[in-house]
Amino acid sequence: MATKFNHNNCPRSVLVAIILPFSILFLIIFGFCDTYTELPEVGMTTTQLIQYHDYPAESLRITTDDGYILEMHRIPHGKNNYNVTKKPVIFLQHGLLASSSDWVVNPPDESPAFIFADAGFDVWLGNMRGNVYSREHISYSVNSKEFWRFSWDEMAKYDLEAMIDAILDRTQQESLYYVGHSQGTITIFSKLSEDKNFSKKIKKIFALGPVAKVANIKGLMHTISDLFKDHIDLFERYFGSMEFLPSTWYIKMASRIFCSGKLTNPLCQNVMFLIGGPESNQLNVTRIPIYVTHTPAGTSTDNIAHWAQMIQSKEVQKFDFGSPQSNMKHYNQTTPPLYNLSNIDTDIYLYWSADDWVADEVDIKDGIIDVIPSIKQNNCLNDFNHFDFIYGLRARKEIYEPIIQIINDKN
């Protein structure tokens, strides 16, 4: 009698080795049978994207207090304001599985980083630990489990402080303006809730697709959470205990071929809509091959598990280490501590939409609007999915230009 195959007995690496070559071959054959034109920005780094559009680009590497080496990018001025001194500093922080490239992957009149630079700002772009630009540590190899033992808790505690302190030191300014998208909002919220002194470094926060509670999240993130809600150990078995969705050459190659074809491009669109929300007619579909070769940019499996835990707990909490004993070791209590966002006193401007599947309307009300006392504006936008806040064709008029006006009025 033939032995029944049990995938639980087959190492994940073996399954990947078997399936991956056939998957890539299928995508290549299917892609080349279609017609596509590759855009020049596909595969460029953030610095190359900035320089491609004739803007000045700088890079800065910094080390966090716990040893991670992060790379930031800078556009010190726009094309016509290089003689202006003491520009206002604005810091743009990407979301989950993303990188600094998010802010520069569209043409200059649509990309927020270029729009802010041309408006007279000194623009800085952050990169959290574990993404394609921040994969070094002073002690741990990127191939070690120790390197990947982090979630957004550590990004909030260590990464934001290291990056913002470096920016203020470099620019000789006391504070800056903060623009965050998605995970880039919960990290600043949690940091400010636990560190009152840090608020002195932030003039205003502009939160795009803001997240705190994620009890009502929809789409693929909710599906993943439901599948592994009671078995985080199974989550690690299937996805590994280290890196989640890395920015590897084979993912980039498959994406650039598959998402560039006239027949296959709509499939890539649908994957984005399954994550971020319904089609809004804001997405420049010809740019999708660029988006998908820059995102996903990598994070840790623990970080994804942290998000899944919060979906199930319906709280804004720290990472759950899986047992009362482990939590007691890390937190001196048997359950993960909750973040108290009512401690925040920095001015916050919200930009959100009922059509966003990640930053849900009910979660924004329950977890942000009804909790944080320092919200100055609550802007509900029509027909924005989660990606439209950074990629959308209407984002300039409805988000970036109003932000510029708010800052200019203050100055």
Q: What is residue 25's predicted lDDT score, i.e. its pLDDT?
A: 44
Phi, psi (deg, nearest 5) at residue 231: -145, 75
Amino acid residing at 376: K
Residues taking part in catalysis: 182, 356, 386
Q: 290-315 burial, b for 16+ CB within 10 Å, e for fewer?
A: bbbbbbbbbbbbbbbbbbbbbbebeb
Q: What is residue 4's predicted lDDT score, i.e. its pLDDT?
A: 39
Task: Report the C-alpha gap between 323 and 33 in whole angstroms.
Answer: 51
What residue ranges do the domains of the chain occupy?
33-229+247-295+340-410
Q: How many CA atoms lie within 13 A of 366 on its CB side?
A: 12
- 302 and 149 Cβ atoms separated by less than 8 Å: yes
Q: What is residue 385's predicted lDDT score, i.e. its pLDDT?
A: 94
pLDDT in tens, the chain (411 residues): 444 334 444 444 444 444 444 444 444 444 444 445 678 898 899 999 999 999 999 999 999 999 999 999 999 999 987 777 789 999 999 999 999 999 999 999 999 999 999 999 999 999 999 999 999 999 999 999 999 999 999 999 999 999 999 999 999 999 999 999 999 999 999 999 999 999 999 999 999 999 999 999 998 777 776 766 666 666 666 666 678 766 555 565 665 666 665 665 566 665 666 677 667 789 888 888 898 888 889 999 999 989 989 999 999 999 999 899 999 999 999 999 999 999 999 999 999 999 999 999 999 999 999 999 999 999 999 999 999 999 999 999 999 999 999 999 977
Looking at domain 33-229+247-295+340-410, which of 1.10.10.10, 3.40.50.1820, 3.40.50.970, 3.30.930.10 is its CATH number?
A: 3.40.50.1820
User: What six digits make up the tokens of 396?
Assistant: 């300039």
Amino acid residing at 385: N
Q: What is residue 247's predicted lDDT score, i.e. its pLDDT?
A: 56
Q: 3-state class of 124 per DSSP?
A: strand
Q: What is residue 311's predicted lDDT score, i.e. its pLDDT?
A: 92
Q: What is residue 194's predicted lDDT score, i.e. its pLDDT?
A: 98
Q: What is residue 84's predicted lDDT score, i.e. its pLDDT?
A: 72
Q: What is residue 12's predicted lDDT score, i.e. its pLDDT?
A: 46
Q: What is residue 121's predicted lDDT score, i.e. its pLDDT?
A: 97
Q: Residue 233: name the closest of 338, 320, 142 by CA.
A: 320
User: What six digits make up the tokens of 231?
Assistant: 């078995």
Q: How many CA atoms lie within 13 A of 125 on its CB side?
A: 30
Q: What is residue 228's predicted lDDT score, i.e. its pLDDT?
A: 62
Can you tell me which residue has the tokens 């505690």? 157
Q: 3-state class of 292 per DSSP?
A: helix
- 275 and 78 Cβ atoms separated by less than 8 Å: no
Beta-strand ranges (E) seen in 358-398 are 375-381
Phi-psi region of 8 (alpha: psi -120 to 50; beta: other; left: phi over 0): alpha
Let me know the angle formed at the C-alpha of 367 by 364 and 369, rounded to the nearest 5 degrees. Answer: 65
Q: What is residue 229's predicted lDDT score, i.e. its pLDDT?
A: 61
